[in-house]
């Protein structure tokens, strides 16, 4: 890419760390190429983001936006991690009020491109008016996006899917045979936000307006993982779709974390375990099992007789009144065999440890990518959002093994938990999952990742319609 112009990107992710972290990873890769990034979020969120390497700090500017007060939104709640699931809609209402400051910000900063998320659908008319080219960066893979369908039909209200069960069959726009689809219980849990009310408008409407209005769609994915699904999205959206790789999470190691007492305690325990023997359990920042689900997971873990490292969150933010508890005497019965972490946990360091033999996960895309990054086979237990589609796709490709659940109510048993854990980590039948994850890792390599980002930059450089500032 000789004689390349350095761009200024305006980045605005949704207020969830599953979105902000991938946006920051993309910002870092763009900054390495000499481009400038203005990264917008709220003060508390920016403070919680990972540290930047010193060489990238001059290129990435964090700009704080004060979240407006909204009734029913708990004080100091600035991200989905701070809230129980039923209060996230109020965060979206507050987020939507940020649109009032956007025209002035874009006019003042005069970026070459806006990179926006699905939630800020109201940015579309603002960027059109300022003639600023816009990229929708989807942190969802193409399989998840395909569930949304034709954006035009959704915007005009012509989507004939009106019940949860309508989303559990293969969409008519998918031309090949596949079993990739969410279960009824997964759709039912998220149906209100997805199709009816995700704050001021439904999430599926936010996505449709965003996709319809932007110039380019960049997806956190790759052809090796879902080439046929990327084609489905390109046909649906009728615009350029650019996969930009898996964007594995990176961390800047300044040495402080290695001396952190909590990590040293964790590492000491992991060091005592046999190579590839430990099951790592974490359900991300967004997902919290119900008390019944949590109890069954714990009893299944106990039944498996495997050593385990569990990142256990009792609640989602201070406003979450439904605090979940481990079964009575569970910790006593598993003493010495398990490590239960109820606070900060350095997931990348844990997954990178040789004692970890498998990852019991909610199937969140970031967690899946981190598991692939460190060649850890997956045991899948999806709960909501796009997790069902990801789980279904990973199952079809034999990159992960799902814990059997009732299709209608999502129930599962401790026996299924134990059997699934042992199959993937210990048994011969699990060898295929361990091998396939290793082969998939190549899509996470630094060289491959940089080529994907270079493809995006090449596209932006080569299309005259994006060179508005040079032509004015």
Mind giving me the DSSP string for 83-126?
S-GGGHHHHHHHHHGGGGGHHHHHHHH--SEEEE-SS-TTHHHH
User: CA 148, CA 164: separation in Å to the nearest integer?
Assistant: 13
**Which pLDDT does position 314 carry in this prediction?**
84
**Which pLDDT does position 193 carry in this prediction?**
64
User: CA 250, CA 391: separation in Å to the nearest integer?
Assistant: 24
**Which pLDDT does position 468 carry in this prediction?**
55
Tokens 């990435």 identify what position?
60
User: CA 347, CA 266: separation in Å to the nearest integer?
Assistant: 11
Contact assessment for residue 32 and residue 5, using Cβ atoms and an 8 Å cutoff: no
* Nearest one of 161, 77, 182, 140 to 410, comparing CA atoms: 182
User: CA 219, CA 434: separation in Å to the nearest integer?
Assistant: 26
Top CATH class of 8-250+445-466 equals alpha beta
Residues of the chain with pLDDT below 50 are 1-2, 469-472
Phi, psi of 281 (to 5 degrees): -120, 120
CA distances from 252 to 19, 25, 41, 258, 260 (A): 19, 12, 20, 12, 15
User: CA 122, CA 128: separation in Å to the nearest integer?
Assistant: 11
Name the segment(s) of the chain with CATH classification 3.40.50.2000: 8-250+445-466, 261-443
**Which pLDDT does position 229 carry in this prediction?**
96
pTM for this structure?
0.93
User: CA 188, CA 196: separation in Å to the nearest integer?
Assistant: 12
Alpha helix stretches (DSSP H) within 305-413:
330-333, 347-351, 365-373, 387-396
**Which pLDDT does position 1 carry in this prediction?**
43
The neighbour count for residue 445, using CB atoms within 10 Å, is 14
**Which pLDDT does position 464 carry in this prediction?**
62
CATH superfamily for 261-443 is Glycogen Phosphorylase B; (3.40.50.2000)
| HSE, side-chain direction, 13 A CA sphere, residue 168 | 14
């Amino acid at each position: 890419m000789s004689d390349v112009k350095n761009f200024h990107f305006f980045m605005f992710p949704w207020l969830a760390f599953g979105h902000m972290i991938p946006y920051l990873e993309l910002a870092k890769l763009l900054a390495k190429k000499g481009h400038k990034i203005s990264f917008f979020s709220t003060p508390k969120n920016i403070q919680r983001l990972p540290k930047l390497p010193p060489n990238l700090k001059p290129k990435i500017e964090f700009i704080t936006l004060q979240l407006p007060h909204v009734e029913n939104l708990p004080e100091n709640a600035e991200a989905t991690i701070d809230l129980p699931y039923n209060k996230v809609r109020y965060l979206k209402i507050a987020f939507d009020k940020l649109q009032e400051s956007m025209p002035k910000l874009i006019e003042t900063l005069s970026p070459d491109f806006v990179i926006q998320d699905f939630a800020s659908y109201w940015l579309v008319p603002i960027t059109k008016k300022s003639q600023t080219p816009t990229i929708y960066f989807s942190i969802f893979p193409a399989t998840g996006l395909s569930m949304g369908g034709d954006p035009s039909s959704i915007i005009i209200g012509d989507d004939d899917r009106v019940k949860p069960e309508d989303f559990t069959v293969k969409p008519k726009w998918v031309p090949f045979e596949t079993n990739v689809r969410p279960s009824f219980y997964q759709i039912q849990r998220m149906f209100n936000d997805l199709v009816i009310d995700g704050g001021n408008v439904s999430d599926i409407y936010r996505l449709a307006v965003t996709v319809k209005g932007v110039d380019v769609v960049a997806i956190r994915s790759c052809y090796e993982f879902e080439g046929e699904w990327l084609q489905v999205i390109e046909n649906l959206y009728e615009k350029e779709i650019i996969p930009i790789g898996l964007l594995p999470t990176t961390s800047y190691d300044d040495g402080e974390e290695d001396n952190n007492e909590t990590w040293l305690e964790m590492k000491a325990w992991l060091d005592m375990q046999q190579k590839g023997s430990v099951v790592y359990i974490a359900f991300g920042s967004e997902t919290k099992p119900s008390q019944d689900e949590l109890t069954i997971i714990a009893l299944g873990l106990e039944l498996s007789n495997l050593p385990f490292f569990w990142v256990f969150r009792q609640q989602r933010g201070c406003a979450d009144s439904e605090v979940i508890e481990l079964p009575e005497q569970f910790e006593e019965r598993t003493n010495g065999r398990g490590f239960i972490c109820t606070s900060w946990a350095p997931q990348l360091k844990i997954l990178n440890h040789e004692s970890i033999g498998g990852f019991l996960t909610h199937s969140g895309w970031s967690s899946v990518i981190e598991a692939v990054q460190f060649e850890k086979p997956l045991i899948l237990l999806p709960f909501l959002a796009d997790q069902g589609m990801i789980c279904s796709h990973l199952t079809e490709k034999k990159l992960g093994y799902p814990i059997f659940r009732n299709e209608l109510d999502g129930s599962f048993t401790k026996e299924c938990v134990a059997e699934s854990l042992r199959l993937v980590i210990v048994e011969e039948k699990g060898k295929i999952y361990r091998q396939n994850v290793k082969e998939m890792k190549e899509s996470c390599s630094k060289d491959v990742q940089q080529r994907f980002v270079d493809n995006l930059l090449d596209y932006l450089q080569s299309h005259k319609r994006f060179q508005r500032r040079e032509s004015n």
